[in-house]
Amino acid sequence: MLRRDLVCLIKRDDTVMLMAGCMISEYVQKFDEAYRWTNSHTDERLNYPFRIDPSLKLDMKTIVAVLAKDFAEFIKHTDMLPGRCFLLARELSYVMFDLKIKHTVTIGDIQLADGMYVGLSHASLEKEIRDGYQFDIDETGRAVAKPANAHAWITLENGQIIDASILASRHRKSGKEGRLTFEESFYHFGKTGTPELKHIPFMTGLAYHHDVLYHPRDMYGPTYGQWFDTYLGFMNFMNGVR
């Protein structure tokens, strides 16, 4: 006979899995629409063919633990995460390379309890893509892209997502004391103890980074350029394996 506390734990885990499954199911529909929109508005070569299989099982607790360890090696604390979603998407991607998990970058917005996180629209995306890279200068005098009007996360091959900055951003806005741990800062569907969030994908793949944020003279130009090549090679390799 199972102890009552173990029964409660099993029921809680089942509820979390069910909630995550429902969120993934709804998300996949929007993701497919974003995938098609991206191909019709940008170079398809930057949007690697990506098909989600919700039946695939991924251990999110282990993935988050690996991410937390990786991020802690080059970021001092989680207060540094907000506002860096595009660079963080690259770092998330490199960890997925190590874990051999197929994934794609996703550009979009988040529906919060108090409104939209960015206020993104397809019209604003089209304008950014049409305008292309726009030079700006950071506080050190280095060339960087102008602030982007979108949000970035990654989508995994089973429809789960990982967002590295939204929870730290909401935590900072809440005015609560202290900082999130790195493990607390990675959002995915079914994560407990998080604010109400609904990720809405608008674009998939590398097209936004390439068309809006990348330029060879930008301080992150070589970083992004190498990532583009590595990502495409990784996905070719993984599709050859399974």
pLDDT digits (tens, 9 = 90+) for 184-225: 999 999 999 898 899 999 999 999 999 999 999 999 999 999
Query: What does the pLDDT look like over 155-192, one tens digit per residue?
Result: 999 999 999 999 999 999 887 888 999 999 999 999 99
Count structural domains, the chain: 1
* Cα separation values, 90 from 109, 134, 139, Å: 18, 20, 23
Residue % of the chain over a pLDDT of 90: 78
Give the closest residue to 162 by CA, choosing from 51, 48, 27: 27
The predicted model scores a pTM of 0.89
pLDDT given at position 173: 87
CA distance 242 to 240: 6
**Residue 152, strand partner residues:** 107
pLDDT given at position 3: 42
CA distance 67 to 78: 13
Query: What does the pLDDT look like over 121-131, one tens digit per residue?
Result: 999 999 999 99
Which range of residues forms the domain containing residue 237?
A: 4-241
CA distance 209 to 202: 13
List, as one string, the DSSP characters of 104-141. Answer: EEEEEEEEETTEESS---HHHHHHHHHH---EEE-TTS
Neighbours of 235 (CB within 10 A): 17
Tokens 């809405």 map to which residue? 200
Residue 93 has pLDDT above 50, yes or no: yes
